[in-house]
Structure 1
Amino acid sequence: MSDFDNMRKNLSFLVDDSFRPSLILHLNGDIYYENEPFKMQFDIINKRNINEIIDSTSMRDWTAFSERAGKSEQMLMEKMSINLCFNENCQGHMQLFYIPDIKKIIAKFDMQNPCDIPSLKTYFNAFRQSSNFLLLVDHNGKIRDVNEMHTIFINQPKKELVGHCISKVLSIVDPNHDEPVQDILEKVKGHGFVESIKTYQRSVEDTRYYHIITSYDKETNMFVVQMSDSTEKENLQVQLAHSGSLSAVGQIAASIAHEIRNPITTLKGFTQLLKVSATEDSIRYISVIEDEIERMESILGEMLVLSKPSGKKKSVFSLEVLVGDMVSILSPKAVMDGIEVVQQVELNGNPLMFGDPDKIKQVLLNLFKNALESMQIGGTLSIHLAESDGKLILSISDTGKGMTRHQVNQVFMPFFSSKPGGTGLGLPFVLKTVEDHGGAIGVESQIGIGTKFTLSFPRAKEGVNNSLPSKQSIVS
């Protein structure tokens, strides 16, 4: 590259690096180069000389400067007042820099009443400050620029992206991506834009859903890739699907409850009659039948509770006391199974919650029971109760066999169970009960490490009458 080309490149860089409208001019006033802020600020088309831009009074000052510059072998600088010849209300200053090595003049404009067209700085700031991940891609698929969200979305430094092919970003978000970049760009050109949803595993416990829109700008022959985080939206859709499943289960249960309960009642009556004349061996069989009938009634009750709101009167109670009572009940089984129970409470005072304590008790019973059944001798059940931002946070962790990602995604779906003989209704009941109390529940699990359920409940509002003393046991 020649010295002249190097100088021209450096001059263009200086002009393009500024948000001020700028020109590079020949000594005779012909326009050699105009930067993007100048094009956007003045929107001048087919203007090829400075005399077509500034008025005659301003031209006299320009001519005097250019004549001095033509005779000088040193850099000259001057600032002059100007008026635009096509807009009499647009006044300002023009700062001139003469570069003797290439005999060019740089003109930078500062206008008092800029045009209504937003400056390039406005667009640049919008690009930089967007909450979405934005990429500018040329017609060859090479990334020309990215905004500041690259570390948040894909945890990659800017220098590892700019100058590289867009396929690098696409393969990070979707490791199975194999469509040629040019095919994607041609598709975008043909349709104007292309959008998709990609599932990105940001970490072992963090799955994100990215909505990617790629659009094409014919004027600049550039592509804009916009990546937004739609994880919350996708999770809400999953919750809606769960709610729909629970509703369907409730409708089915309500429609067949009467038909199921009638034969169950008949069976229970006949087993009582058979006991009167049954032999000792027959009584053992009848006891098995009675146990199975009781199990059928229990399953039916779990199905019905998914659709029917609790009919019991709610009250204010202490979650700390309730958790302590349930731990006391399950401790003997934990000791027999060789499992250690670790309980930790980090509360200021004794915050209360409002709801149905019997239903919350059943929630804890299900979660504690599942945790104990997932562990072998030497396992640990950890129970932690704390408070954060006006909510009670209860976490229940085990060191059991854990679940796969698929099992975690399906764990609250009705009839899904990883336990032999499980009904798949316990955790849907837990989810519905927690949501009915204005709370939320999340689950994390790793194979061979264990599972952690985290429940959050709103604290009882101040001034609500306490139906129970704060330290009164509610376990029946």
Structure 2
Amino acid sequence: MLTKYDNKEKFDHIFQLFSSGLIFINDRGILLDMNSYAEKILLINKNDYIGRNAKNLYNMFNLCDEEKEILTEKLQKEGYLENHLEYKPIDGEYKYVHVVISKQFDSGLYLLEINDESEKIYMKKRLDQSESLRTLGQLAAGIAHEIRNPMTSLKGFTQLLSQNATEDTQRYLTVIKHEIDQMENILTQFLELSKPSKSKFTVIYVEDTILEVVNFMAPEALLKSINLNVSSQVTKECHVVGDSQLLKQVFINAIKNGIEAMPNGGNIHINISCRPGHQVSISVKDQGHGIDDININKIFQPFFTTKTTGTGLGLSHVYKVIEEHGGNIEVQSMVGEGTTFDFILPCRKNRMVFDNINHRPI
């Protein structure tokens, strides 16, 4: 029911049935009412906000104080504001919304119209990522032959020289060999991103797979004074269809990144849980240095890295593997507190997903 204000009857029917989220705010900044679609988009209960200052809602948009001041000043001056904003619900992932605020001069109220464009934005990001990987693939295919031939020669001559080398020369040759191996490793990662997948899809029991990965990474974590804690809210029968080795690489990469982000030790929490729509989520949460807002949208781009060493191809490969399995990745991070990667995969019941990505269904 709308809070009392002029022309209530005129707007009531349209207000409730309108296909966009609508919110009314008075000239003192008090939120008067919102329709059910606005509640659905913002994932809130209107009763928690009606009668309170709209700043309580405004603060949930991903804006710095300076941006808020600029937008507020523009709205007060022109009586109209339109923008695309990131919105962080109390529970849930970021949403991307299109917001239009206009002043109703007959009543003095501000009408906020909001539309959820998250699906469109996430799709664009996936397409941009796929395009980046395709470009990388073309680059890799073009240079692989030209680089591998001289590297093979260098490696062969290094082995020949090492047969009669002095102790000092042997040390230098060992360094050269290590660097050649590193170059080959980078080139291999190039090609893994470029070539069509030849994955061997089988039924994988999620909990068993995660425990195998954790047992494998436990010695490295122990050396860094890091505890690996596993919790699960699924049954042992929870399974997905996928390539076991590729998925293990994904989770090893996630745990390894967490370990590297925690030089002072701490805890990494791995949690397995069900998601709506026959999906399973494997989250890896560290207590590392975190990722700032500027970089978090770049982490899956080829060659992007915040590490002093590394190729910047690891997470690109992770993204490609999860995408090939019909899943997606959600990332949340707070600088100084840590990062959580959620790997979301369709359970085996949801088989048809794999038909759409040209994999052999079970």
2:358: which partner in 1? none
Task: Note if contact 2:93-2:330 (Cα within 8 Å) is conserved in structure 1.
Answer: no
Structure 2: which amino acid aligns with 1:258? Answer: H
1:35: which partner in 2? none
Q: 2:13 aligns with which of 104, 112, 125?
A: 125
1-structure distance, mates of 2:271, 2:194: 30
Which protein, 1 or 2, shows the higher relative CO under an 8 Å CA cutoff with sep ≥ 6? Answer: 2
Alignment of 1:74-473 (within 5 A): 124-130=12-18, 132-135=20-23, 146-148=33-35, 153=42, 157-160=49-52, 175-176=68-69, 177-181=71-75, 183-185=77-79, 195-200=82-87, 207-213=94-100, 225-389=112-276, 390-461=278-349
Task: Note if contact 1:201-1:207 (Cα within 8 Å) is conserved in structure 2.
Answer: yes
2-structure distance, mates of 1:225, 1:403: 32
2-structure distance, mates of 1:396, 1:291: 31
Task: Note if contact 1:129-1:147 (Cα within 8 Å) is conserved in structure 2.
Answer: no
> Percent of aligned pairs with the same residue?
33
Offset of residue 407 of structure 1:
2.4
Task: Note if contact 1:413-1:428 (Cα within 8 Å) is conserved in structure 2.
Answer: yes
Offset of residue 219 of structure 1:
11
Q: CA RMSD in A?
A: 3.7
Structure 1: which amino acid aligns with 2:344? Answer: S
Q: What is the aligned residue count?
A: 336
Structure 1: which amino acid aligns with 2:49? Answer: P
Offset of residue 426 of structure 1:
0.4
1:40: which partner in 2? none
Alignment of 1:27-106 (within 5 A): none
Task: Note if contact 2:30-2:52 (Cα within 8 Å) is conserved in structure 1.
Answer: no
Cα distance change of structure 1 residues 272 and 386 upon mapping to structure 2, 3 Å threshold = same
SS in 1 for 2:263: coil
Task: Note if contact 1:401-1:449 (Cα within 8 Å) is conserved in structure 2.
Answer: yes
Cα distance change of structure 1 residues 304 and 148 upon mapping to structure 2, 3 Å threshold = same
Task: Note if contact 1:141-1:182 (Cα within 8 Å) is conserved in structure 2.
Answer: no
Task: Note if contact 1:346-1:387 (Cα within 8 Å) is conserved in structure 2.
Answer: yes
Offset of residue 425 of structure 1:
0.6
Q: Please list every run of 5 or more consecutive structure 1 residues that lacks an aligned counterpart in the other structure.
A: 1-12, 20-119, 189-193, 465-476
Structure 1: which amino acid aligns with 2:189? Answer: E
Cα distance change of structure 1 residues 297 and 171 upon mapping to structure 2, 3 Å threshold = closer
**Given the two structures, how large is their TM-score scaled by the length of structure 1?**
0.61
Deviations 1:101-154 (A, max 9, x none): xxxxxxxxxxxxxxxxxxx6xx6323124353325699x999997433566649
2-structure distance, mates of 1:332, 1:392: 27
2-structure distance, mates of 1:136, 1:393: 38
Q: Please list every run of 5 or more consecutive structure 2 residues that lacks an aligned counterpart in the other structure.
A: 62-66, 353-362
Task: Note if contact 1:442-1:455 (Cα within 8 Å) is conserved in structure 2.
Answer: yes
Offset of residue 429 of structure 1:
0.6
Looking at CA atoms only, which structure, 1 or 2, has the larger radius of gyration?
1
Deviations 1:395-436 (A, max 9, x none): 111122222122222211111111111211101110110010
**Given the two structures, how large is their TM-score scaled by the length of structure 2?**
0.78
Task: Note if contact 1:133-1:148 (Cα within 8 Å) is conserved in structure 2.
Answer: yes
Task: Note if contact 1:391-1:457 (Cα within 8 Å) is conserved in structure 2.
Answer: yes
Offset of residue 278 of structure 1:
1.5
1-structure distance, mates of 2:117, 2:270: 32
